Amino acid sequence: RVYVSPSPQPNAFASGRSPRKAVVCVTEGLLTMCPPDELRGVLAHELGHIKNRDILIGSVAAAVATGISFVANIALWAGMFGGDGEDDPPLPVLLLTAMLAPIAASILQLALSRSREYEADRSGAELVGDPEPLARALLRLEAAAQRTPMHVSPAQASAYIVNPLTGRTARFSALFQTHPPTAERVARLRSQQVSAPA
């Protein structure tokens, strides 16, 4: 199923844990701003996420990151209030572990998100039989997102083909971005060799 969001920012995302339950949502901005070949490239990218089960993979990664944070907090509280003190790790070690474990888990989750974007780009280019329409669409969407940020939760930003929050003034380290740099995605697409679809 395909849905249309009334947002003026050109963007799209896929949702659903399996191909049978998957949906793709495109914005009105995407439909009005992109020529047909670029729109096909964007839709192929989203179908790539569905084919590769990226939504399920992302959900599992988020659950693992949450579990790591939970275990780190339990270890901290157990160390502070429950041990006999002799063989227990020192409190500064527990504090450091409780702070760093969730950060490390989040960094790994974000790295996974970026790698899934590259894979969806590759899959989408293969589906269309030409990487150029998706490459041009990514450049167009990135420029539009800079001008028209979308009002979505930062936790949902990774679902979109380009980061819908790009136009906001806050800038974060590339380590904490959910999307790889658009220029790098375009370079990879343009160096990709694909055969025409059957």
Task: Kindly list the catalytic residues.
Answer: 46
CB 93 within 8 Å of CB 152: no
Nearest CA to 77 out of 69, 87, 104 is that of 69
Count of helix runs (H) and strand runs (E) in the chain = 6, 3
- Strand-strand pairing, 12-15 and 23-27: antiparallel
CB atoms near residue 173 (< 10 Å): 6
166-171 contact pairs (CB < 8 A, 24+): 166/142
CB 194 within 8 Å of CB 126: yes
d(CA 182, CA 188): 10
